[in-house]
């Protein structure tokens, strides 16, 4: 009897021990699974975070003005069709040759937009030049005039495409200015005619016109005023690199180097856009480029009481307001 009782007790103890082990294993598995699930959750969050950062970066990049990877296809207009639309309000003729060549001879009514820097690889300078043209209110059909209808027009076409202009409205003059002068030799404003006009009306002053200055602090206070127009007269490529917000580019390098007629053409384009208020001229240090511009404006009959040179030029501005420049 005792022997049977001992066997029964042993069996009961064995069953109890097996149940305990099973419970511990289930608890261990549950704990392990829970731990694995808890560990896996942050991994998903860490993987998603860079994706959000990449999306944000892509949005910023897409808003930039990027040069096309390949040349944009050009469409042409013949000199005959261009001539037929020369006085049409639906067309704007843009001479993209060097400013000095435009000053020497150009198609009547064409505006100058020197794209020499862009043609030589400075895409940002080309963007700055064409933005100035478009900001003057141009939004119709464009006829691009270069030397022979090739490289300068191609550089301009690429820039206009990057700026989002309607390319169905952009035409290159077939054969360029060369073809125009061969077809319509009597329908150009020639260098000789321009010189005659200059001698009768627009004459370079015999001596430098006295400049009046505005401090960077006063200029800053009027930066957003409708009574002031800020004109950056440095080289277009330097404007493209960094400039005062809201300033327009009017490259007066040719005038600074003695080509008065080129300076006249550049400033006439600015004034023809409707500028007639107080002007703040921005050059490098407030000297030679601003002086050349002041001389031209005086010869053009502008009210010189409204013409100011930024004291110390862009150098002084960038030192005083390093965070208030557009790169």
Burial of 191 (0-12, 13-18, 19+ CB in 10 A): middle
Number of helices and strands (H, E) in the chain?
Answer: 14, 10
pLDDT at 103: 85
CA-to-CA distance for 296 and 293, rounded, in angstroms? 5
Q: At what angle do helices 191-200 and 260-272 cross, to 10 degrees?
A: 80
Write 111-116 long-range contacts (CB < 8 A, 24+).
111/269, 111/272, 112/265, 112/266, 112/269, 113/156, 113/269, 114/236, 114/251, 114/266, 115/146, 115/152, 115/155, 115/156, 115/159, 116/152
130-134, 210-214, 276-280, 303-307 — which is least confidently predicted?
130-134
Say which CATH class 76-200 falls into.
Answer: alpha beta
**Token code pair at residue 199:** 């001698």
Domain range 213-320, its CATH number among 3.40.250.10, 3.30.460.10, 3.40.190.10, 3.30.2270.10: 3.40.250.10
Residue 187 to residues 82, 143, 182, 216, 315: CA-CA distances in angstroms?
12, 16, 10, 46, 44
Over 80: is that where the pLDDT of 127 sits? yes
pTM (two decimals) = 0.48
**What is the percentage of the chain residues whose pLDDT exceeds 70?**
77
Over 50: is that where the pLDDT of 59 sits? no
Domains 76-200 and 213-320 share a fold: yes
pLDDT at 201: 61
Higher pLDDT residue, 264 or 199? 264
Stated length of the chain? 327
Higher pLDDT residue, 14 or 159? 159
| Beta-carbon count within 10 A of 176 CB | 23
Domain boundaries, the chain: 1-64, 76-200, 213-320
CA-to-CA distance for 222 and 204, rounded, in angstroms? 30
What tens digit of pLDDT does each residue of 203-213 get? 899 999 999 99
Confidence of residue 271 (pLDDT cuts 50, 70, 90): confident
């Amino acid at each position: 009897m005792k022997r049977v009782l001992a066997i029964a007790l042993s069996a009961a103890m064995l069953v109890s021990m097996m149940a305990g082990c099973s419970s511990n294993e289930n608890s261990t598995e549950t704990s392990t699974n829970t731990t694995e699930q808890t560990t896996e959750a942050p991994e998903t969050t860490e993987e998603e975070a860079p994706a959000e950062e990449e999306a944000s970066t892509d949005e910023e990049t897409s808003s930039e003005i990027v040069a096309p990877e390949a040349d944009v296809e050009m469409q042409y207009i013949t000199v005959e069709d261009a001539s037929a639309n020369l006085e049409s309000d639906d067309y704007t003729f843009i001479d993209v040759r060097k400013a000095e060549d435009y000053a020497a001879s150009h198609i009547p009514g064409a505006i100058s937009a020197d794209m020499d820097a862009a043609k030589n690889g400075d895409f940002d300078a080309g963007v700055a030049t064409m933005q100035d043209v478009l900001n003057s209110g141009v939004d119709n059909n464009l006829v691009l005039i270069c030397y022979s209808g090739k490289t300068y027009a191609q550089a301009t076409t690429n820039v206009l495409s990057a700026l989002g202009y309607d390319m169905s409205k952009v035409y290159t003059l077939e054969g360029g200015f060369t073809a125009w002068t061969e077809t319509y030799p009597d329908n150009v404003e020639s260098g000789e005619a321009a010189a005659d006009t200059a001698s009768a009306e627009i004459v370079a002053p015999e001596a430098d016109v006295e400049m009046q200055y505005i401090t960077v602090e006063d200029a800053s206070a009027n930066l957003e005023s409708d009574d002031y127009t800020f004109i950056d007269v440095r080289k277009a490529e330097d404007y493209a690199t960094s400039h005062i917000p809201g300033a327009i580019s009017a490259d007066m390098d040719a005038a600074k180097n003695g080509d008065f007629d080129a300076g006249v053409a550049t400033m006439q384009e600015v004034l023809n856009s409707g500028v007639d208020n107080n002007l703040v001229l921005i050059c490098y240090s407030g000297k030679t480029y601003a002086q050349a511009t002041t001389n031209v404006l005086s010869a053009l009959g502008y009210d010189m009481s409204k013409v100011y040179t930024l004291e110390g030029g862009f150098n002084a501005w960038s030192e005083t307001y390093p965070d208030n420049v557009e790169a």
